[in-house]
Structure 1
Amino acid sequence: MPPSMPSPSIRIPVELLSQSSFAQFGTVIENPAHSTLPRSQRPPLLDTVSANQGTAVKILDVTRMTDLYHLAPSTKPAKAVMNMFVCAPRDLRPHEPSDSMPSSWGDIDFDEEDYEDGGSERQLFDVQILERHPFTTQTFIPMGLSQADKHTQYLVIVAPTLPASASRRHTGRPPPYPTPKIKKSRSIKDIFARARPSPFTNEKGPPPSQFIRSHPSQRPKGPGLPDLKNLRAFVATGNQAVTYGAGTWHAPMAVIGDRPIDFVVVQFANGVSDEDVQEVILKPAPSAEEGMVVSVDSDRSGRVLVKAGVGSVKAKL
């Protein structure tokens, strides 16, 4: 049984998935030419080269694959694995007024006038569990879903990681899966490496950590629990794949709409269960009406309406 943590009652609006808004959590993979953002808000173009005898454009380094299993307690090496997830649409519950706090990531309009005329509909998705893969990135690539598909999309729900000290305050016990402390080497070489100047490099001190210059999504997240007060929800179109950074807390894939989506999922794994995946169940207070809830607004066609983040409020995808 996965460990649990107390969950506040918060309603989270849906944001448009873009590389700029998702950068702290991982990578969005999409053809820049198909971006729904205004040109002024699009990220810089990635490097490209001509390929396939001039019939294709190759876009380089569209995502960051990270293998941190050398930091795992077992030190068991991992291998790259590719699986397929066939994800059925989730059941959403009808909207009802609530005393839940609005998310800090965007105001939710609680005015019911927009829904009384039948112009749009609001439904609710309860986030009951979060998971992470502490030593590997995980990339979800949807298959057979068009960008223009109005009736099926998927939600990407993520949360930052709390410091370990804050995690103890939340649960009254150490974090559920502490990351091992790296043992300090006491070899003669290590002792001399800390000398000034170092005999092994041209620098005045030991080389910096390999993670200092890494993108934030590539750095180890530490053993902390998810920061639920800063949980965010993004809606993705069919031409977008997503890579969760190593150790990023996220909800299991949530498809919304009419039909399942097939995802090809690429990650590293070493077969040690709590090193490959770690889960936390979110437990609302007994007196609370609800816990963490994503508010999903849609138009008559079923297409999700964006309520927060980049782009105009209530803009259609």
Structure 2
Amino acid sequence: MPTSMPSPSIRIPVELLTQASFSQFGTVIENPAHSNAPRSQRLPFNAVSANQGTALKFVDVTHMTDLYHVAPSKKPARAVMNMFVCAPRDLRPHEPAESMPSSWGDIDFDDDEDGNNKRELFDVGILERHPFTTQTFIPMGLSQFDRHTQYLVIVAPTLPASASKRHVDRPPPYPTPKINRKKSIKDIFARARPSPFTNEAAPPPSQFSRLHPSQRPKGPGLPDLKNLRAFIANGNQAVTYGAGTWHAPMAVIGDRPIDFVVVQFANDVAIEDCQEIVLKPDRSAEEGMVVMVDSDSSGKVLVKAGVGSVKAKL
């Protein structure tokens, strides 16, 4: 049975999925020539000629990270590739509400509706994370020009462990046990500065320092619901969640299912491969965590916040 946590009543507007807006959570994979992001924010890339000059190869578009060596069980992981066939989600009709996400301030989006547009609501009832591996979702058979089927990418930062305990009055749900072992004399003296063995004045860099912040371990904390964000992705975009990034299961919006190839590491220890949190609205909350899905007459989801939003309100 997954752990649960109280959820405030917050409505989240949809943002455009770009590498700049998503960088703290992972990587957006797309051909830079087809990116919807402003030219100044498009993915940096190194393109090289390939296939006897008939193709361009974009190098290192994302990085797979295997952190299972720090998992409690120490059981090694293997690279796995699965396919998820994700059906379109049921959305509920729009109902006016006063609550808005703190990350966008006290903004009222209810009075900027266009008569030709439609607003529906997606309830976020569960978040999950894969604490020791990145996870890449690659859509198949979906064109970037398909206005009738897209998908939501819903993510949240991780709270510090101390803040998690304050929020739910209990320790974090998935702590990583500390392995107690006797320290040798060499271990004890190695912590001294300057080091008696190397004469270095600074401590050695962390083994995770070479990793992008989105790829580093996030700790045992709960998701930061007040800063939950929702992005809309089209058929030419794949996405990599950084190791330990809290995210909702993939949510397809539109007319038909999307087939996703999913690439990650796994060691078959359930609690180390996937951790879940069920979001239960506070007794005083009207509805919990809700993503506002605005669409035009063709069914295309509209961007209502951040870069590329249809309308900015000051």
In which range does the TM-score fall when normalised by the shorter chain? over 0.9
**Match in the other structure for 1:271:** 268
Residue 178 (structure 1) aligned with residue 171 (structure 2) = no
> 1:198, CA displacement in angstroms?
3.7
Are the aligned partners of 1:152 and 1:259 in contact in 2 as well (CA < 8 Å)?
A: yes
Runs of 4+ residues deviating >6 angstroms: none
Partner of 1:55: 54
Residue number in structure 2 paired with 1:46: 45
Relative to structure 1, the CA distance from residue 185 to residue 208 in structure 2 (aligned partners, 3 Å threshold; closer, same or farther) is: farther
Q: 2: CA distance between counterparts of 1:23 and 1:214? A: 13
The alpha-carbon deviation at position 208 of structure 1 amounts to 1.2
Which AA in structure 1 matches 2:90? D
Alignment of 1:71-110 (within 5 A): 71-105=70-104, 107-110=107-110
Q: Is the 8 A contact 1:6 1:282 kept in 2?
A: yes
The answer to whether the aligner puts 1:209 opposite 2:245 as a matched pair is: no
Asked if 2 retains the 8 angstrom alpha-carbon contact of 1:194 and 1:205, the reply is no
Gaps of 5+ in 2: none
Alpha-carbon deviation of 1:287?
4.2
TM-score by length of 2: 0.93
**1:135 and 2:132 are equivalent in the alignment:** yes
CA shift digits 1:38-84 (9 cap, x unpaired): 213324x3112111111111111111211111111111111110000
- TM-score, L = length of structure 1: 0.93
* CA-based RMSD: 1.9
For 1:102 and 1:162, how far apart are their aligned partners in 2? 17
Shift of 1:183: 4.6
Q: Deviations over 1:260-295 (max 9, x none)?
A: 000000000000001000000001023432000000
8 Å CA contact retained: 1:13, 1:103: no
Q: 1:47 to 1:113 in 2, by over 3 A?
A: closer
Of residues 207-216 and 170-179 in structure 1, the stretch that sits farther from structure 2 once superposed is 207-216
Instruction: Tell me, yes or no, if the aligned pair for 1:12 and 1:103 is still in contact at 8 Å.
Output: no
SS in 2 for 1:212: coil
Task: Using the aligned pairs only, state the percent identity.
Answer: 82
1:248 aligns with one of 201, 220, 245: 245
Shift of 1:202: 6.9
- Gap change, CA 1:113 and 1:233, over 3 Å in 2: closer
Q: In the superposition, relative to structure 1, how do residues 201 and 80 fare at CA in structure 2: closer, same or farther (>3 Å)?
A: farther
Number of residue equivalences:
311
Q: Match of 1:147?
A: 144
The structure-2 alpha-carbon separation of the partners of 1:199 and 1:39, relative to structure 1 and needing over 3 Å to count, comes to: same
